[in-house]
Structure 1
Amino acid sequence: MSKLKDKVAVITGANSGIGLATAKRFLAEGAKVVISGRRASALEEATKDLEGDFITVVADVSKPEDNVNLIKSSVEKYGNIDVLFLNAGVAPMAPIDAVTEAHYDEVFNINVKGPILATKEALPYINEGGTILFTNSIVHQKGFDNLGVYSASKGALRAYSRVLTSELKPRGIRVNSIAPGPIETPLYNKMGLSEEQINELGSGFAQQVPLGRFGTSEEIANTALFLASDEASYVNGIEIEVDGGLSQV
């Protein structure tokens, strides 16, 4: 398998879930991968059995200096970048009347500021014809209770990606987004909910999905592989929903 042979891919939020599944998929397709996450211990545990050409970089995308270090470390190791996959994100829940400044800052710093600053740092090193991918979400297309700030952050990211698509046209860099629906990832365990609440939330989501189930991180990774590969050479500026049909009905 060599859809990404010798391509250099940088992935944020890659110590679990979608990011880790994508790192594994890219490595299997011959890519050289920079695997980034906020916690050194989680990165070490997640990558201990991985095979292929990769490095790990500890980086909190909400911190400007960490984005600088992430790109610097990537370029020092592999030279230029072919695929930048900005996947890191958080989704803490809060009803509208309980939103605090701290809640807002956490969500927007990681989900919006982080990808924007990482993109800025990476642009000088992304090869002509390279690819930028964002993990977005279907939440900005529908109104999900208690996810107002998260939904707003994903709407902002979608708007940014459209402008980026236009600005990068002289360099032939493709910009696309993946909008997952309910996916079996550790994200739900980071929402500040009890196990009972998580199970109830998951059951409710699954019942709304036409396919009747949660998706898997591997299904998102397969979509990322397609968008990063030459098979998607004429796919640009889109947001592709991988949600079992939830956003379409």
Structure 2
Amino acid sequence: MGQLDGKTALVTGGTSGIGLASARRLAAEGATVFVTGRDQGKLDEAAAAGLVAIRSDVSDPADLDRVFATIAERGRGLDVLFANAGGGEFATLGDTTWEHYEQTFHRNVGGTVFTVQKALPLLNPGASIVLTGSTAADGSSSAFGMYAATKAAIRSLGRTWAAELVGRGIRVNTIVPGPVETPGLAGLAPDASQVDTLFKGLIASVPMDRLGRPDEIADAVLFLASGQSSFMTGAALYVDGGANQV
């Protein structure tokens, strides 16, 4: 028997990287897993792998309404919500534009806030909400200020929501990955020829001397989503190779 047999899960940003690895991990433990994303080709691949794929942009309230209406139609509520969709780009303070600020905060903070809010009517007693943080929120990575600020906001919101929802038996925890080898991380390089340089620079900050793998983060997400973490709420679980610990 799987740890999530008969459960229903939603993973936003679930068509690549950490989101896809986590969706597959939850499904392997018996959950029916809905995933959202914006790339139809990747959604089709996710559907072919047995996930329930819905095209959606978390920064669009109408899209979120459609996602939760689809889940509601199934009639089993929601047991796991992994609010994972988000991303960022490099920009120094001097180079930051209003558009860069707005897009980063709307996607990472606004998208998470309203994903969780709109999920509330569907969440079953004992449900688990997992938010995606980042070690960037604890540091001072040059030119990554807007992204880091959004992840600091997520950490703060996770604590508040844990307090607000504890009466319903709903737990809220934040997964905090270090640098993980994903398409999103590679996309931070100015061009493909500089991906190697970017990765080597990041590895230099990790005591374990390597990047993380999406499946390693997925295992930690499963821990927070399942009964194994039943006495945890409001916590931040670091999976960072020691980058912010050693």
TM-score, normalised with respect to structure 1:
0.95
Q: Deviations over 1:88-130 (max 9, x none)?
A: 1112111111000111111111100001001111101101110
1:151 aligns with 2:148: yes
1:189 is matched with which residue? 186
Instruction: Give the paired residue count.
Output: 246
Alpha-carbon shift at residue 192 of structure 1 (Å): 5.9
Aligned CA RMSD, in angstroms, stands at: 1.2
Q: Deviations over 1:44-86 (max 9, x none)?
A: 12442x14xx411111001111111111111213530000100
Distance 1:190 1:210 in 2: 23
Is residue 5 from structure 1 mapped to residue 5 from structure 2 by the alignment?
yes
Alignment of 1:164-203 (within 5 A): 164-191=161-188, 193-203=190-200
Q: Percent of counterpart pairs with the same letter?
A: 40
**What amino acid is the match of 1:243?**
D
Instruction: Using the TM superposition, give the Cα deviation of residue 208 of structure 1 relative to its aligned residue in structure 2, in angstroms.
Output: 1.4
- Please report the TM-score for the alignment, with normalisation by the length of structure 2: 0.97
Whether the aligned pair in 2 keeps the contact of 1:91 and 1:190 (CA below 8 Å) is: no
Counterpart amino acid of residue 60 in structure 1: D
Structure 1 residue aligned with 2:80, among 83, 87, 97? 83
Partner secondary structure for residue 184 of structure 1: coil
Select which of 64, 68, 72 maps to 2:69: 72
1:1-249 equivalent positions in 2, closer than 5 A: 1-48=1-48, 50-51=49-50, 54-191=51-188, 193-249=190-246
- 1:5-40 per-residue CA deviation (whole Å, 9 max, x = no partner) reads 111000000110111111111111000110111122
Paired AA for residue 210 in structure 1: P
TM superposition outliers: structure 1 runs of 4+ over 4 Å: none
The letter for the 1-side match of 2:42 is A
Q: Distance in 2 between matches of 1:11 and 1:94?
A: 28
Gaps of 5+ in 2: none
SS in structure 2 opposite 1:128? strand
Matched residue type, 2:177: P
Letter of the 1:110 partner, please give it.
Answer: R
Closer, same or farther in 2 for the Cα pair 1:76/1:124, shift >3 Å?
A: same
